[in-house]
A and B are shown apart, each in its own frame.
Chain A
Amino acid sequence: MAHRRAGRAGAVSTPALRVAGLAHRFGTTKALDGVDLTVEPGRVHGFLGRNGAGKTTLIRALLGLLVPDRGEVEVLGTPVRGGRTPAALWSRVGCLVEGPGLYPALTVADHLRMAARLRGLPRPAAPCVTELLDLGRYLDVPARALSLGNRQRLGLALALIHRPALVVLDEPGNGLDPAGVVDVRNLLRRLAEEGTTVFMSSHLISEVARTADHVSIIHAGRLVAELSGAELRAPGRARLAAAFRDGEHARLAAAALTAAGIQAHADGDGLTSEAPEAVEYPDRMAVRLVEAGLPPIRLAVERDDLEHHFLRLTGGTR
């Protein structure tokens, strides 16, 4: 993407995306419930949520595919109002939503040629993305004969062919092999470095943690957390976690540690303690427990990471 359109990066001073009070229902189900979100330009913004949390509904509202019941959406400073959104806005936006939309009989080259024509691009636009996404070998292959991973690569190529200022990607890693996931991660990072804003939803928490500068977590239609890049990279809160033969042992162990001035909580067959001494000297804790006749069957210091945050906020278990 070294040939980005001159002046694209830095030209955008307004937020790349702004959502205010967005609410939408499908029948009696609240899909979005007052979502406020701002995405700064030139960032990779990760968007996490469980199935049915409202990720795709929000993305569809961003792209004018759905007119929300309430709230405002602005993309690159332009209000989005479903089918009444100025079509010119979409010349600065690329997207991959709910899988790559491909025509089975059209070849890779046909798709790229058609996308270039529809976006009013000069002919040399396509070779750049084919090289970027390693599609050169498949130019004459019809979409129906492509593997899932190559279909996804083609979908990404179509989203990026016009070098957009904003890319909205719904599960960009779907169907890709591990090497493909790394390629896409590097590509998205490079795009952001060149000034493109990337808004990506995913259920692959580790991938979002590695790729994103900022992460929003949505649950039951509400944004429940926003984590900055510093928060994502900072070492998470630590705790001692021990597992015992049964709940009675765990309860006695927690009582023994608490009696010794080390606050601990039993939960089922396990025990956790966030006391500094327990976290810094897990070996001493192990000795204490053995001496008390309550040997743990597992003992480790765990740190909060994005997965912890996500599961805690969305009511899941690890």
Chain B
Amino acid sequence: MSDYRAALYAEILKARRARVPALTFTVMALPAGLAALFMFVLADPERARRFGLLGQKAELSGITADWSGLFAFLAQIVAVGDLLLLAFIITWVFGQEHTAGTHRYLLVLPVPRAATVLAKFTLTTLWGIGANLWLVILVLSAGWALDLPGGDAGVLADGLGGVTAAAALMLLVTTPAAFLTGATRSHLSPLAAAVGVLVLAQAAAVLGYAHLFPWSIPAAATGLAPTDLGTAGIAIAAVTGLAGVLGTLSWWSGRHADL
């Protein structure tokens, strides 16, 4: 346990000193700002027309200017943006060791390699939770500032529940990015893979298989995809998460970790 705590201390120190966490929080503010802008435009159709194209796009999105609409927008951000954000965070946390040439020093420490890997996953999870919490706070603040209608307790509970479930499932299904970072020793491959599965996730949702494709399961949890999540969906997400963690542990303990 002390090995794990020491490894976690090291991971948190590396993240605290880097600019990347601040960058991710800044980036998360952009979709929150966009959600606020959409709500601002949609709240008044006359104003929407004055905004020209933006107003038309906002109307085409099919989102209504109320708390349900705001949560639908938030769900879209989490279902799409979180995949890219978490893939980026995981790639940075695991990949920086190869970029800096520090991975081999982690392998010859009196700290088991498993403790190092688990500490890294703990950091990515905390970071992901923090970024999502920040997003939710910004979006809710925008809703209250715009005084959106329909904000009863049931809508808030449903909206927050769906977004929380989606974010949690996304944390699970993005763990394979850590394995991919190690196996390819590249920052680009996991990010390219994230973009690829994002496209496939859209296709799975359209075809009605969102609950069976790991990376569209979070969208199914929010109700964005027209299928019920079901036990199978949760099981698939859990197995994907576990496979990502075990694959990463296996790779770090294996014979190719220093190549």
Contacts and interface: CB of A to CB of B under 8 A. Distances in A.
A170 to B, nearest CB: 10
A65 B108 contact: yes
A91 B10 CA distance: 17
A84 B17 CA distance: 32
Interface string A84-128: 100111110101011101111111001001100111100000000
A101 B100 contact: yes
A63 interface: yes
Interface string B1-26: 01100110110011001110000000
A83 B108 contact: no
B101 A99 contact: yes
Nearest to A97: B104
Interface string B133-161: 00000000000000000000000000000
Given A93-B108, A103-B17, A120 B257 contact: no
Contacts of A103: 14, 17, 96, 100, 102
A105 B102 contact: no
A109 to B, nearest CB: 11
A34 interface: no
Given A67-B255, A102-B100, A120 B10 contact: no
B248 to A, nearest CB: 13
| Category for how many chain B residues contact A | 20 to 34
Contacts of B113: 83, 87
Contact of A101 (B9, B102, B252, B255): B102
B60 interface: no
| Category for how many chain A residues contact B | 35 or more
A86 to B, nearest CB: 9
Contacts, number: 88
Contacts of B107: 63-65, 83
Interface string B239-259: 000000000000011110110
B6 A117 contact: yes
A265 interface: no
A89 B112 CA distance: 11
A83 B100 contact: no
A84 B252 CA distance: 11
Nearest to B110: A91
Given A82-B254, A101-B104, 15 more contacts: A63-B107, A65-B257, A65-B258, A67-B255, A83-B107, A87-B3, A87-B111, A95-B105, A101-B105, A103-B14, A105-B19, A107-B17, A114-B9, A120-B110, A158-B105
Interface of A: 60, 63-67, 82-84, 87-91, 93, 95, 97-99, 101-107, 110, 113-114, 117-120, 142, 158
17 contacts: A64-B108, A66-B255, A66-B258, A67-B255, A82-B254, A82-B255, A90-B110, A99-B101, A103-B96, A103-B102, A105-B18, A113-B13, A114-B9, A114-B13, A117-B6, A117-B9, A120-B110
